[in-house]
Amino acid sequence: MTTTTAPAPLLEIDNISKYFGSVIALKDVSMFVRPGEVTCLLGDNGAGKSTLIKVLSGVHQPDEGTYRFEGAEMNLSSPRDALEYGIATVYQDLAMIPLMSVWRNFFLGSEPTKGFGPFKRFDADYAKRTTKDELGKMGIDIRDPDQAVGTLSGGERQSVAIARAVHFGAKVLILDEPTAALGVKQAGVVLRYVVQAKQRGIGVIFITHNPHHAYPVGDHFVILKRGQVYGDYTKDELPLEQLIQMMAGGADLEALQHELERAAEEGDPAAENAAAGLEEEVDKLDELAERAEDGE
């Protein structure tokens, strides 16, 4: 320990396991999220990413392990429960209504009212102004808040969802593959808002399987594999090349290596060279995995 101490985690889980019948979706998963940081959650299909965020956001209750929020141990009984603590989740299939205006979508489920009793009614002017202001703060220039959400691009829609969560006081923002369906330029737009949310002190959990999207915005990387934490690194511990290698997956590389070795045995010198190169890659991956385990 030398200079500054990192802020205390907002959210922290210890040895969380989740079973679906005989399927072990998560086993002894521990991780934490600090305010003002982006924690990237990476892993192949089936690694347990969605199950983990469903546990974090109150959709699933874990079978084992502890969950702490702002230092206090707790149990979330529903997504609404999570939202009340300030844990907001933006799913890939956004909960938005395409034909409705941007401002109506922004306030969906939390409509501001003015007046009281029988005079209480939806305050549309306030809602439109707030939508435009809040989006403006995130650097999103909506020409007309009356515009239907369906006319926005995928990146803009994700951005509206992020701005909405920020406006309603999210402390932890969970983004499930927000860039997966987007082209490079649109993904860039969303990544900018991820950084803005972080700069506003929110603890962001960013789920992706794309190391090129994770690396520029991430402060901390948690790699899941078959329901377990395969690696947990800060950015300075993990060069981009290593992250890419880990995402490529040791198993795939090994299978490829065996294939090449077989070709080499049959006398293909190019395959022999390639197999030797791959062996090195696999060794490096094993080393990384061991280091990850020792670091726990």
Residue 122, contacted partner among ligand ADP, Mg ion, none, CB below 5-8 A by kind: none
Q: Which residues bind Mg ion (CB under 5 A)?
A: 49-50
Residue closest to 196 by CA, chosen among 217, 210, 181: 217
Q: Which residues bind ligand ADP (CB under 6 A)?
A: 20, 23, 25, 43, 45-51
Contact call for residues 31 and 228 (beta carbons, < 8 A): no
Residue 145, contacted partner among ligand ADP, Mg ion, none, CB below 5-8 A by kind: none
Contact call for residues 171 and 85 (beta carbons, < 8 A): yes
Residue 47, contacted partner among ligand ADP, Mg ion, none, CB below 5-8 A by kind: ligand ADP
Query: Minimum CB separation from ligand ADP for residue 36, in Å?
Result: 26
Of all residues in this chain, which one has the CB nearest to Mg ion in the complex?
50
Q: Please, is 191 exposed, middle or buried when counting C-beta atoms within 10 Å of its C-beta (0-12, 13-18, 19+)?
A: buried
Residue 45, contacted partner among ligand ADP, Mg ion, none, CB below 5-8 A by kind: ligand ADP
- Of the pair 54, 104, the CB lying nearest Mg ion is at 54
- Of the pair 156, 177, the CB lying nearest Mg ion is at 177
Query: Minimum CB separation from ligand ADP for residue 243, in Å?
Result: 17
- Of the pair 228, 242, the CB lying nearest ligand ADP is at 228
